[in-house]
Amino acid sequence: METTPAFTGLQCTGCTETYGVETYDRCPSCGAPLDPTYDYDAVDTAAISEADPRNGVWAFDAVLPFTAAAAISGAEGATPVVETTRLANELTVDSVYIKDEGRNPTGSATDRGMSVAATAVKRHASDADIEPIALPSTGNSGQSAAAYLGGLDLRSYAFVPSRSAFSNKAMINVHGGEMRVVGGRYADAEDAVDQQLKTEYYPLQEFRTPYRHEGAKTIAYELFADFAGELPSHVFIPASTGEFVVGIQKGFSELQTLGLITETPKLIAVQPTGCSPLVAAVERGLETPEPWAVPDTICGELEVPKPAGGALALEALAASGGTALHVDDSDILSSAVTIAKHEVIEAGAGGGAAAAGAWTYAEEHGFDGGETILLLNTESGLKTPDILRSHLMGQGI
């Protein structure tokens, strides 16, 4: 499988050692995550500025490791940006938009990175026996992995906590993936991968594979196209492992390096109050978040007490001039329901967190009034309609 002309390899985010595309896990020297690198002078900027965002993730293969022709793709990306004047008026800003990632093939933004990671799997499987393939998942990534690996005829395992949404667990099996349901929470699922497999495996977890956050960065490129280069001032991102914070900031930074934009948006990471290690790290001025001792949130997709990309996410937030903040579960669910009522978008808890985060930011930091705000809805409300419905029932509806 050919790599793209500008792709130069993988660089360790810790010791800066460099590796070739054949490496598929963390840095062999120090164990830090690897990051794809490029010769930006070799990138045809016209291929970016003239790319058709309707072609999704692989419209931007000039800044991806693999070509669109080689991709394992389900037409991920190309998600709509929906304007909400109601929320703009309530926040007293110029405009508010929602990037609806719930319209991806398996209903979440995770599909972007999984497409790139699965393309790498295809390449590596042609060179060596890499089975089994495995990852821990709160739900969405396990479903996505099963879908994207389904046609490769490779054994893959998703380790999910018992509290994962039924829809995720059902679709992992429907797509042909093998699933291990682990009692407890996400941290228990992480531990179970090594404990139960007891063999070497090909990892698809965020920041084990170098490619999950690389696919996520295409959100930034699509926003560049969506807004004709006039990017939002603030982007609110539901945060768990750090995949989307790191990826989106990388995309904006690359656009700046390529001379296509002059300023990058402020990124605001939003986490539930009951599991907000990134927020705690920002408040304490830490470079690496400490594990959250007792995670407690109804929003399972956002309950990651030890984010694998935590240090990189903090670095990305600082580079963007942004911050991290926490919001209560009730505000997350209320915001998701409000979006569904008024904007013809079935927002999941992630989208609710982004909207609730915008309100909290307005109260704690304030807006000047001329801002353009982007809320990232990372998953469809169809993933967890039970918790949204339960929220309404709690209000007597």
Burial string for 199-231 (b: 16+ CB within 10 Å, else e) reads: eebbbbbbbbbbbbbbbbbbbbbbbbbbeeeeb
Geometric angle at alpha carbon 32, from 290 and 7, rounded to 5°:
135
Asked whether 53 and 78 are in contact (CB, 8 A), the reply is yes
pLDDT tops 80 at residue 397: no
DSSP 240: S
Question: What does the pLDDT look like over 347-390, one tens digit per residue?
Answer: 999 999 999 999 999 999 999 999 999 999 999 999 998 999 88
Q: Which residue has the tokens 């389900």?
A: 74
Within a 10 A sphere around the Cβ of 285, how many other Cβ atoms?
7
Q: Which residue has the tokens 């509290």?
A: 163
Asked whether 215 and 113 are in contact (CB, 8 A), the reply is yes
- End-to-end Cα distance, the chain: 55
Which of 75-79, 209-213, 393-397 is predicted with the least confidence, judged by mean pLDDT?
393-397
pLDDT tops 70 at residue 103: yes
pLDDT tops 90 at residue 62: yes
Asked whether 380 and 348 are in contact (CB, 8 A), the reply is yes
Place 393 in a pLDDT band, splitting at 50, 70 and 90.
confident
Return the pLDDT at 390: 87
Question: What does the pLDDT look like over 213-267, one tens digit per residue?
Answer: 999 999 999 999 999 999 999 999 999 999 999 999 999 999 999 999 999 999 9
Question: What does the pLDDT look like over 325-335, one tens digit per residue?
Answer: 999 999 999 99
Asked whether 211 and 36 are in contact (CB, 8 A), the reply is yes
Strand 81-83: give its sheet, edge to edge.
81-83, 95-100, 372-377, 234-238, 266-272, 323-327
Tokens for 114, please give them: 């999984």
Q: Which residue has the tokens 């914070």?
A: 245
Dihedral sign for Cα atoms in the order 366, 369, 372, 373 = positive
Region class of 15: left (phi > 0), else alpha (psi between -120 and 50), else beta: alpha
Question: What does the pLDDT look like over 184-218, one tens digit per residue?
Answer: 999 999 999 999 999 999 999 999 999 999 999 99
For residues 43-52, average pLDDT: 95
Asked whether 303 and 295 are in contact (CB, 8 A), the reply is yes
Question: What does the pLDDT look like over 151-183, one tens digit per residue?
Answer: 899 999 999 999 999 999 999 999 999 999 999
Return the pLDDT at 2: 81
Return the pLDDT at 1: 63
Please provide the average confidence, as pLDDT, over all residues in the chain.
97
- Shortest CA distance to 354 belongs to which of 332, 334, 337? 332
